[in-house]
Structure 1
C-alpha cells in the first residue's frame, strides 16, 4: 500500500505543486482544492483518513486547521509552504509594471522585517507601510477590512495580499490589489518537506516494539503436602483442590494463548510463550499505533480478559534496540499490573509513559495519562527527593492534575486517574502534604457517606 500526501489549497496552487509529484512515484498524492478558504477544515476532516501527511499551500489554511484542533494532535503531520518573500517580490514587480504608486502600501501575512527587506532589495523606500502579520487563523473579513479601510482613508495606494478570497473581493471593489503566491521553487520545497515528513513517518512505523502479556499471577506448582500428623485425608482434599485450580488455570491460559494468536495473526504480530505464564509479542510501531488508536485506547486487554476469565495485562516497550524495548516493556507491564485492571501501558524511548490504555470506565478519565520516568528534569528530581516519592509517581500526579483541569483533587479522584487503590492514593497525598507539596484546602461532603472527603491543593509546578 502506498503512503499518501494530501495537498490542500486553491486550485492553481495545488496544481502547480503537484507538477513535481512525478519525482516521487512511490507515493500517492491527493488533490484537495477549495474555492473558499473556509472550506479548509471540512476538506481536511473529510480526507484525513486517506492521508499520512498533509501539505498546505500557505500558512492561513494551516493555521485554520491547527486552530480547529486547539493545539491538540491532528493525527497526521502538517506542513505548509512558507515562501512569503518571493510572493512579495512577485507582487512588487506587477505593481511597478502597472505604474502603481508604491510609496504607500498595505501588506498582509509577511512580517514587517520580511516586507521591508523585499522593498529594499528592489530599491523601494515607501513613505508609509502597513502590516497585518498572520500568526494565527483570521477571517477573510479581517483581511478585507484591513486593506480596504486604509485605502478608503487615503492612507494607501495599493495592497498586497496572500489570501485568494480577499484578493477576489478587494478586486471587485475596484481597489488596486495584488495577489502574492509562492514561487514554483517554494512549492517544490514544501512538497519535499512533506516527503521528508513521510520518510520519517515510515521509519518510525517500522520501528520494533516489544510487548509483554501477563495475567499478573503465576500459580505455585502442585506438590503433595507434608502430613507429619497423619492427616492424609485433609491433605488429599487440599491437593485435589490445588489440582483443580491448576487445571482451570492451564485451561484459561491455553484459551488466552489461542485468543492472542487470533488477535495477532491479521496484524502480523508474533506471539511467543515465555516461562512463568507470560507471553512476548513483537510488532512494529505502526501496528502499535493502529491497535491503540494512536495511544488513546486498547480494547483487546479487557475483551480477552472477559473471554478467558483472567485479568490480562499488556506492556509495550519502544526503544532504538530490542534489549531497551524489552526493558521498557517490563516497566510498562508492571504499571499495568499495578492497576489491577485489564489494560495496557506503553513506555517510549524518551521515558514517556502512556496508560492505562483500555475502554475507560464511567468514572475514569476519557484519555490515558501521559507522564515521564526521566530523571533529567531538575524540578521533578527535587520534588521526588523532597517527598520520597519516585519521579514517575510525581509525574503521574502532575498528569492527573492536568486531566482534572485543576490543582484541587480528592483521594478518590486521584485513585481513579491513576487506576490505583484509594489507600495508595491517600498515602501519596499524605506524603505530599507532609513535605509541603500539598495542603488540605477544604472538605467535600456531596455524594459521600460518613466523613467528608478532604480536598487537597497540590503544588507540583
Structure 2
C-alpha cells in the first residue's frame, strides 16, 4: 500500500514486537510512511509512553489489546488501533509447543483469544479442546488475573503448560517454573494492523483540513445598561476587538469578519485550531483578549460537514458559553465539548525530558551528523568515543536517555563471535527542541 502524503504512525509496545513491526514496515516500501516508536517494559506504562510521542504522530499502533485499552483509558489525541491476537498466531504457537516438547497441547491454559478462535484452531488441527482452559481478554482488569489463572491450573496438575499473549505474564510464569510459550502475532496480522493504522492516520490528516467556524461575541451583560451599539465608545471597542482577534487568528491562518453588532466570525481549519489550542485543551481568544480589552467574551466553536452546518453549530456553542468562563465546541451527532480558558486549564502537560539528557542527545546528534551518520544508531562504545568518557559512563548515559524517552534499545545483532554482542540504541533526535 502506498500513500501520496506523509503519514506518521506511533508504534507502542515491548521491545521485541516494536522491532518486528519496524522491520515489516520496511517491506511495505511506502515512502510516505514514517514510524515513531515508544517502548515500554510493562503494558501498564503504555499510556505514559504514548504521551511522549503523541504530538508527533497521526495515529497509533499498539502491540496488543491490553496496552491499547490502557492508553485509550488515559486519553489519546489521535486515532489508534492494535495488533489483534489469535488466528494464525495460535496455530504456530501450538506447533512450537509440540515440536519443542514444551507441553501437551490438549492440556494447556490459554489467555486473550476468543473461545470461537480457540475452537476453530483445534478443529483445524484435529485436536479436542475439552482439556484446554481459556481466559478471554475483556479489559485490563482481566489481564491482571492471567498470571494466577495459568499458575494455579499448572500447580494443581490441570494443565501441562501455558500460552499467553502478555510479555510480563510470560516472564513471571517462567520464573515460577510453568512451561510457557508467548503467542506472538503473525507477519500477515501485523501488516494488516499497520495498514489499518496508516489508513486511520491518513483519515486524521484529512480531518485536520476540515473547516471550523468560531463565533466570538461580546455579551449584552458586559455592556452598560441602555448602551447603544452606535455609541462612539462601543465602535472603539469593536475596532479594538477586531484588531486583537486578527492578531490571535494570524498564527492559525484564520479569517476574521464582523458578523453582527456584537460578534465576529472566525474561519480556520481543524488542524490549525488544534495547534493553536494545544489540541483543544484551552479556549482560543478567551483569556488574553478579555484581559486586554477589559470585557468578558463568549466563544463558540462549530464543526460540521458544510460551512453552513459549522456556523449553525458555532451559534449553538456560543449560546452554551453564555455567562461562563469557558468556550464550547458543538459538532454533528450531538457532539459537545467544554474547553476551559487558559487560566482555568487543569490538564497537565506531558513531562518534559530532563534538560541535561536533551543536551547530551543534542551533542551526540551533532557529532554523528558531522560524521555523516544519518541512522543515529549507537552502542556504549560509540557513545564513549563521541563523548570522551569511560565505557561505564557511556552505558549509564544510554540508560538515562532511555529513561527520558530520548532513545530506545534495539535487539542485539546476530554475531558469530563469542560473548554478548553490544546492544545498539536508536537515538530519537526528533525530540531535540528546535
In structure 2, distance between residues paired with 1:283 and 1:249: 27
Q: Give the equivalent residue in structure 1 for 2:43.
A: 37
Gaps of 5+ in 2: 348-434
- Aligned to 2:231, the other structure's residue is in SS state helix
Tell me the matched-pair count: 337
Is residue 80 from structure 1 mapped to residue 63 from structure 2 by the alignment? no
Choose from 119, 122, 144 the match for 1:119.
122
1:133 partnered with 2:136: yes
Q: Which one has a bigger Cα radius of gyration?
A: 1
Residue 54 of structure 1: aligned partner:
60
The verdict on how the C-alpha distance between 1:47 and 1:97 changes in structure 2, with shifts beyond 3 A counting, is same
Distance 1:314 1:193 in 2: 36
Within-5 A mapping of 1:55-454:
55-67=61-73, 69=74, 73-99=75-101, 100-138=103-141, 142-216=145-219, 246-298=231-283, 300-336=285-321, 339-341=322-324, 343-355=326-338, 357-358=340-341
Following TM superposition, by how much is the alpha carbon of 1:127 offset from its aligned partner in structure 2, in angstroms? 4.6
Change (3 A) 1:85 1:269: same
2:287, 2:343 within 8 Å by CA — same for their partners in 1? no
Does the 8 Å CA contact 2:7/2:202 hold for their aligned counterparts?
Answer: no
Return the alpha-carbon distance in structure 1 between the equivalents of residues 243 and 62 of structure 2.
Answer: 46
Structure-1-length-normalised TM-score:
0.65
Pair 41,282 (structure 1): closer, same or farther in 2 beyond 3 Å: closer
| C-alpha distance after superposition, 1:4-29 (max 9, x if no partner) | 32111122211221234344432431
In structure 1, C-alpha distance between the alignment counterparts of 2:39 and 2:133, rounded to whole Å: 31
Check conservation: 1:344, 1:355, Cα contact below 8 A.
yes
TM-score of the superposition, structure 2-length normalised? Answer: 0.69
Query: Cα offset for 1:183?
Result: 0.2
Q: In 1, Cα distance between the equivalents of 2:41 and 2:222?
A: 67
Q: Give the aligned partner of residue 359 of structure 2.
A: none
From the superposition, tell whether residues 334 and 98 of structure 1 become closer, same or farther in structure 2 (CA, over 3 Å): closer
What does residue 357 of structure 2 align with? none
Q: Tell me: CA distance 1:39–1:298, structure 2 relative to 1, closer, same or farther (3 Å).
A: closer
Alignment gaps of 5+ in structure 1 = 221-240, 368-461
Change in CA separation of 1:218 and 1:146 when aligned onto 2, cut-off 3 Å: closer
For residues 36 and 366 of structure 1, the distance between their equivalents in structure 2, rounded to whole angstroms, comes to 28
Q: CA deviation at 1:140?
A: 7.5
CA distance, structure 2, for counterparts of residue 166 and residue 275 of structure 1: 63
Q: From the superposition, tell whether residues 271 and 3 of structure 1 become closer, same or farther in structure 2 (CA, over 3 Å).
A: farther
**Given the superposition, is the C-alpha separation of residues 197 and 129 from structure 1 closer, same or farther in structure 2, using an over 3 Å criterion?**
same
Structure 1 ranges of 4+ moved more than 6 A = none
Q: Which residue of 1 aligns with 2:412?
A: none
1:206 Cα deviation from its structure 2 partner: 0.9
Between 1 and 2, higher relative CO (CA 8 Å, sep ≥ 6) is seen in 2
The CA deviation at 1:355 is 4.0
Match for residue 14 of structure 1? 18
